[in-house]
Structure 1
């Protein structure tokens, strides 16, 4: 028999989700400081994204096994990490040029349509998490659509496998509610629903295999963010012009229509690194764990604390200098240096950089042998 459990008690993720809802409700009823909205939303998104990245299952009472929540998760290589800032720069500058020379209305329609289409499935996937918990996967076993479509065009030959169960259909239908609301009103809450879904699924779908790749990615984007924010007006111009739900919006002065915003990259990129710290904790301790809820997460706690410190510093510096700040300037050191300090204090720096993320099961017999070897 296989039992599947979250690495922490589900009520913690539920509490984090309710906190996001509460912040949005309060902000819609009264002027709420942007600092509170920005910090609470970004921190809870990272927290939820990390703990929903995978589940841990125990097979036949003798083996723990990590299982990703996404079958489409892509593992990044060192080459990908080196190239990520370059490709990001090309895309960013390309969008900047488009907005300079083409009508904004047409571009906004194209980009919004694209992200709405993707967003429906992302929001639906996020809705599936509580839906599945409430109905115990009852509707997941009922297939509604299961067929293959062959596309045979001169430049495109591909086979598409359409496979949707009843649970997915219901959740996608529910995702149409914020979609229609956003299209008709550009409502900031509907925008944030998509932004939060993109963030959670982004953390879920991008996998860092080890800390070497993580450090390459994080520090590469550290310099990328500094250049495009401080060195040019490209980042700020695109962020203000890009009318699509790829950022979180925090209104704080309804009368004067003032709001702050946070790009999803400032949640997803640090989020995948924080998730790697969590996986490191789990892989180290599942070898000795009997009760899944007893697993401690010291490296995650340090890394997550570094993210919190970084996002608070970002907002403080933005207020002091009254200028948009590259959040990764503070988030990257906060996440990466905190993990290094923890590893140095534990005398495990070498072990940290030799770590390779894996989804292989860890049996109790293997755990005993490895403990004796230690």
Structure 2
């Protein structure tokens, strides 16, 4: 009974905020992926073409992720500055990608003139895009200086949205292959890696902080105000919420502890949501003339399944007082309802094989 009473800590502000944020980000990522696909179809912009995974690439992702984990586990102190610099560039790019549609919409609504001001990397930049780029660089700079968890979360959310928008799954067959492989990957690195490597590799990598290259440069040059620059940074590869958010603290934790959820635990289910959302959109166009054909969309079953799986993962962590592989709960809770519902509707074959790729999709080369 005492164990069940611990589940009330799911109602703590930090837990509720994490759950709501993760669900909204996952759905927003799928929605932005659908909009981005429509933009590519409409503009036929080859430079913005997305990556569509095939079977071999789906198999390579868990292997590449495992290699990255081991590199970060053994050599993180050596590559920390490089990883932080690369993350800063990726964060600025993702921030620009996520805010661009809102800037364009605002410009259209206000009827503002937006002349081209320069060219960069064979692409023309308008004045509004230049201002947005400066804002994105300033935001990343603020994160480097302060290391604040809110900025960390903002950048992480943008990276998740950009990833789901640019990496596509062609059908449920490839989706099942990818999710099952990552399901095994998550379980192994959380539950069994300590037997082989002497420590929980996943937890060690997820909780370690990166060195701040800005702090290092400022220190070497003896610049004033050095104490204001964060020496260590939480990289925006996860959502973090202080457990003392609004004063709520889970027993057994200190006030400086954080509740964490990796970006992969949003991005991977987000790819599934993007796939079924695209399928729903295709079906709604086919049935637009049939007013009697009212159907619940697959995406809502997947969203509800994601929320249930996330709550189950957090509950398991609270009851066991140990880290849990979130995909252990998220993969069955999202993939299961979609496959079951499509089988009942006799649409599993159509969803399994997928539709033809849009003309401007380009294959992903694994060459470095």
Could you say which TM-score interval applies, normalised by the shorter chain? 0.7 to 0.9
The alpha carbon displacement at 1:266 in A equals 0.7
The alpha carbon displacement at 1:140 in A equals 9.0
Which residue of structure 1 lines up, in the alignment, with residue 75 of structure 2?
Answer: 98
Candidates 243, 258, 267, aligned match of 1:252: 243
| Residues 66 and 359 in structure 1, CA contact (< 8 A), matched pair in contact too | no
The answer on 1:165 being equivalent to 2:145 is: no
How is 1:202-351 mapped onto 2 (pairs within 5 angstroms)? 202-232=163-193, 233-243=200-210, 244-253=235-244, 256-289=255-288, 298-351=297-350
The alpha carbon displacement at 1:326 in A equals 0.7
Distance 1:66 1:344 in 2: 33
SS in 1 for 2:24: helix
Which residue of structure 1 lines up, in the alignment, with residue 20 of structure 2?
Answer: 40
| Number of corresponding residues | 305
Candidates 97, 101, 108, aligned match of 1:136: 108
Distance 1:49 1:112, change over 3 A: same
Gaps of 5+ in 1: 1-30, 59-64, 148-159, 361-374
Greater length-normalized contact order (CA 8 Å, ≥ 6 residues apart): 2
The answer on 1:146 being equivalent to 2:146 is: no
The answer on 1:85 being equivalent to 2:85 is: no
Candidates 121, 144, 152, aligned match of 2:93: 121
Deviations 1:94-148 (A, max 9, x none): 111103xxxx3x643322111111211211221222222211286796322225x
SS in 2 for 1:192: helix
- Root mean square deviation of aligned Cα: 2.8
How is 1:17-96 mapped onto 2 (pairs within 5 angstroms)? 33-55=13-35, 71-96=48-73
SS in 2 for 1:248: strand
Distance 2:338 2:322 in 1: 29
| Residues 140 and 165 in structure 1, CA contact (< 8 A), matched pair in contact too | no
More helix per residue: 2
The TM-score with structure 2 as length reference comes to: 0.76
Gaps of 5+ in 2: 1-10, 194-199, 211-234, 246-253, 360-368
Distance 2:118 2:127 in 1: 9
Distance 2:43 2:136 in 1: 25
Distance 1:32 1:123, change over 3 A: farther
The TM-score with structure 1 as length reference comes to: 0.75
